[in-house]
Structure 1
């Protein structure tokens, strides 16, 4: 027989009632906080290039041509090498954080030089820099900075300058390896040998800025890598260079080896765009590169091509960026935009730049106390009454066993008399 009493069901979780909305006025949003970063790792550089859609087939070419343009204009305006190194640093950082199709690489290089002139206190007007670049490109028809042809490019340079300031986070620090390089060459070698090596070391230090080494390595790392490459190319006292205690210079062999291989990659692939690459045969650079690769292979894992590399991050990047997308149009044929573009449709927030990471963390924790949303979850046990089962409807042929049938029972039962009758229909529809 069916049970007649109530039953208790298992406890069920009901949705949490909504909390009352706090309609008290809140202060303005603190905006976004950006921390400056002086160094980039090779894996991070590649990730940024994939994220912003850089075409690897053109990236190296435009990077080298932009640095060459900075160097040519710097020499035409007789600016010091410190301005050149600062401009190249800003140029590399800017190109890593902006899509190629949004600007022209020549405009970006000239804007970086314009801002570096302000930072290094070698003030030059934007039209002076544009005029020098124009005269280098058109030596047959030189002009002056008062020409009206520079009115439109002048506005583009000013607009790109604001983007560069945001990219570097208003952190104007840069590294100058040339000064340390000259002191170390004089310290390591005899004056006669040092006098022969200094011109080559200085030329390598200029060529090095056509790679990403200046934003990856410290000053001592760059200086030591330059000296050792010059010693290997000239076969001059290589063992004396390698006998140094690198811990005194706040670096290690892995860092130095990475910068050396970056330089040799450039000399083997783009030798005609460099100064030192035109002085030696290509086989000389290949032989030196083979020796360094053998040193990496024979180190039994102590040395690697790139000092800092995460295999798990590399696997996740392959899944996230299966194919490196190329930019839609060539940046050489695309004009630069001087206006600020918003990546989303929301109202842009204030961007603030700080240098102390601990101070930014404390400020964020303080702000979270007033903006975080708290939720409470309740679990309530309730008793629910189970409905009684409906009485079973007997089949017509069981009429004799269960007494006489009522008028309701004599009508159609839960199923048709003939099972296929429910599929039959006349012209007017319905059963018949």
Structure 2
């Protein structure tokens, strides 16, 4: 069985000092455990901003989605921009960098990564159109040089945060592959299931799931949740069979699949989406009861279980933190890439 959860021992939580005060080593880390995210929140001194950051995250991801659509970007480019936003704020606080400026930067950088390139002035025009839908179209020549320079500066900072690693995998391709795989050994309304799971995967980028789990695990959770939702809407719907070992077939731990479902349901409950709060709450309760009956994963040791356990940041550093030092330009940084063959 494939294990989807990131290991806490393969890469450092934060850049590590190799020559005191002057040189740091940074490695790109694809996924973070819940404990690592809580620790980073404490290092950012953002423990008291959790609600504000969540509100900003939802608003910014919707803003990125609207700007991306205005620019005619495919969903892959939009999702890359949203993933960039989440990854940036793993290390930085909204107290230091305005979410809207970072959102614009993420759209601009994502267009380059996904080779759907737009000029920065075109991005500014789309941003103005989304912010002021009834107003006259912005003349790009009216954009101040200071604003352009700010976004270019943030672009450099964002690229450094990524450790110049531009490999993004999205759950969409796995949704299609998994549905086709399941259809091969059971009766399935494949088209409806894939369409619903794809929609859930799009919405998953309004949460921080993309920095917690690999794309195939997010896809597995979206398919699992889509099947439950469609079965409730239509009793005749042929979804995932109850008796199958979906953790093995979808190459992810069942706890992780359920956590993906839970976070998407939390998003819908908080936003009041689809006027189905009661339904989403009931499914959350059912998933909790299912997990309780199953018990803890017998293949997971206590240390890893604590690493994966949800945790609310409850402490902050006094004075300068290691992350404060790393997030400055007063040192030399070396970026290290994986040498493993694909």
TM-score in same-fold range (> 0.5): yes
SS at match of 1:353: strand
Shift in Å at residue 174 of structure 1?
1.2
Stretches of structure 2 that go unaligned for 5 or more consecutive residues are 1-20, 232-236, 319-323
Q: Which residue of structure 1 aligns with residue 44 of structure 2? A: 52
Pairing 1:71–2:65 present: yes
Superposition pairs of residues 12-411 of structure 1, within 5 angstroms: 31-54=23-46, 55-189=49-183, 193-235=189-231, 236-240=237-241, 243-244=244-245, 246-247=247-248, 249-271=250-272, 277-278=273-274, 280-302=275-297, 308-310=304-306, 318=314, 320-321=315-316, 343=325, 348-356=330-338
For the Cα contact (< 8 Å) 1:131–1:150, is it kept in 2?
no
Distance 1:315 1:225 in 2: 21
Q: In the comparison of the two structures, how many residue pairs are matched?
A: 302
For the Cα contact (< 8 Å) 1:36–1:169, is it kept in 2?
yes
For the Cα contact (< 8 Å) 2:194–2:223, is it kept in 1?
no
Report the CA distance shift for 1:136/1:316 in structure 2 as closer, same or farther (over 3 A): closer
SS at match of 2:39: helix
Shift in Å at residue 113 of structure 1?
1.3
For the Cα contact (< 8 Å) 1:188–1:241, is it kept in 2?
no
Report the CA distance shift for 1:108/1:286 in structure 2 as closer, same or farther (over 3 A): same
Q: Under a length normalisation based on structure 1, what TM-score does the superposition of the two structures give?
A: 0.63
Shift in Å at residue 156 of structure 1?
1.5
Q: Under a length normalisation based on structure 2, what TM-score does the superposition of the two structures give?
A: 0.78
Distance 1:42 1:74 in 2: 29
Distance 1:317 1:181 in 2: 33
Shift in Å at residue 30 of structure 1?
8.4
For the Cα contact (< 8 Å) 2:220–2:252, is it kept in 1?
no
For the Cα contact (< 8 Å) 1:71–1:84, is it kept in 2?
yes
Distance 1:216 1:299 in 2: 23
For the Cα contact (< 8 Å) 1:35–1:357, is it kept in 2?
no
Instruction: Please state which structure has a larger fraction of its residues in helix.
Output: 2
Shift in Å at residue 41 of structure 1?
1.2
Shift in Å at residue 356 of structure 1?
3.4
Alignment RMSD (CA, Å):
3.2
SS at match of 1:70: helix
Distance 1:245 1:94 in 2: 33
Which protein is bigger by CA-based radius of gyration? 1
Report the CA distance shift for 1:247/1:152 in structure 2 as closer, same or farther (over 3 A): same
Distance 1:107 1:135 in 2: 15
SS at match of 1:147: helix
Shift in Å at residue 237 of structure 1?
3.9
Report the CA distance shift for 1:286/1:351 in structure 2 as closer, same or farther (over 3 A): same
Moved over 6 A (4+): 311-317
Distance 1:347 1:145 in 2: 35
SS at match of 2:140: coil
